[in-house]
Amino acid sequence: MTLLPIAIVLGASDLTVHDTVLGAASGLATGVAYVGFFAAIGHGRFGIVVPVSAAMTALLPTAVGIADGNALSTLTAAGVVCALVSIPLVAYETGHDGVTTGDWSVARQLAVSILCGAGFGTFFVCIGSTSQGAGLWPTVGNLVVATAVTGTIALMRGAMPTSPRSTPQLAVAGGIALGAADTCLTTALQRGPLTVASVLGNLYPLVTIALGVTVLGERVRSWQGVGIALAVSGVVMIAAG
């Protein structure tokens, strides 16, 4: 776990029970959301599940932040709107040859995707409500609980690696990258407005597109180009505001 040594090095000046409970609660929500998310992808269509869940993940903490009184300038608010609109655009993928809507109905895919997005959004709300003095420990708690939930289900389904050597190297690399990303995201959520941090934190599909273009030679669709332009514009407006 990459996050654990970082959390130990950075320490915590005031870790409370409240912070610990929020971290554990967010872990339960995200653990269940991950299971539902991958089940929806397996039984449905990527182009439906990903953009809907990504949009919901951003919308929930944004709504909570606004309700909680996050004061945003007009320029920053416009940037948030641009970024929110860009998320489903950059995440959307059409079906490829031979790909159908899956053995789940579209209504079921939408319902599960919305619930998963709400679960992921709970992470932003909970971690954003922890104190700066708690350091990274609420997020460590999140990962411990989420891993316990997903690991238990994977074990029950016989999907766990039989040994550490059988774990894909890309999965290990992804775990390391996730630890670094969680460090930055937790810091942003604890120190900045929830509305801004959650929206910017959900622009990860841009990285997926960039890797797809540079590594796999994929092309950017027209709507994704519009989404990228909106995302970049939104980030610039948020930074300027």
Domain residue spans of the chain: 3-240
CA-CA distance, 163 to 165, in Å (whole number)? 5
Query: pTM for the full model?
Result: 0.81
What pLDDT sits at residue 1?
Answer: 61
Listed range (55-59, 124-128, 146-150) with the worst mean pLDDT: 55-59
Q: What is the largest CA-CA distance in the chain?
A: 55
SS3 category, 51: helix
CA-CA distance, 147 to 164, in Å (whole number)? 16
CA-CA distance, 18 to 20, in Å (whole number)? 5
Query: What confidence tier does 210 reach under pLDDT thresholds 50, 70, 90?
Result: confident
pLDDT digits (tens, 9 = 90+) for 223-240: 888 888 888 888 888 867
Query: What confidence tier does 42 reach under pLDDT thresholds 50, 70, 90?
Result: confident
Alpha helices in 162-221 (DSSP H): 169-191, 194-201, 205-215
> Which string of b and e fits 204-237 if b means at least 16 CB within 10 Å?
ebbeebeeeeeeeeeeeeeebeebbebbeebbeb
CA-CA distance, 4 to 144, in Å (whole number)? 10
Helix then strand count (H, E) for the chain reads: 10, 0
What pLDDT sits at residue 146?
Answer: 93
Whether 102 has a pLDDT exceeding 80, the answer reads: no
Picking from 39, 120, 126, the residue whose alpha carbon sits closest to that of residue 87 is 120
What pLDDT sits at residue 121?
Answer: 92
In order of 57, 69, 132, 187, 202, the CA distances from 235 in angstroms are 18, 21, 24, 18, 12
Picking from 147, 221, 151, the residue whose alpha carbon sits closest to that of residue 182 is 147
Q: What average pLDDT score do residues 173-202 get?
A: 86
Q: What average pLDDT score do residues 169-188 get?
A: 83
What pLDDT sits at residue 164?
Answer: 58
For the record, the structure tokens of 236 come out as 């610039």
Q: If 0-12 CB within 10 Å is exposed, 13-18 middle and 19+ buried, where does residue 191 land?
A: exposed
CA-CA distance, 43 to 105, in Å (whole number)? 9
Q: What average pLDDT score do residues 52-81 get?
A: 86
Percent of the chain surpassing pLDDT 70: 89
Q: Which residue matches tokens 């505001």? A: 241
Whether 76 has a pLDDT exceeding 60, the answer reads: yes
What pLDDT sits at residue 99?
Answer: 46
Q: What average pLDDT score do residues 41-53 get?
A: 82
For the record, the structure tokens of 198 come out as 């959650």
Cβ–Cβ under 8 Å, residues 49 and 120: no
For the record, the structure tokens of 135 come out as 């350091």
Highest mean pLDDT among 90-94, 100-104, 113-117: 113-117
Q: What average pLDDT score do residues 36-58 get?
A: 84
Whether 163 has a pLDDT exceeding 70, the answer reads: no
Highest mean pLDDT among 49-53, 176-180, 186-190: 186-190
Q: What is the dihedral of CA 146, 153, 112, 40, to 10 degrees?
A: 110
Degrees to nearest 5, angle at CA 118 with 222 and 191: 90
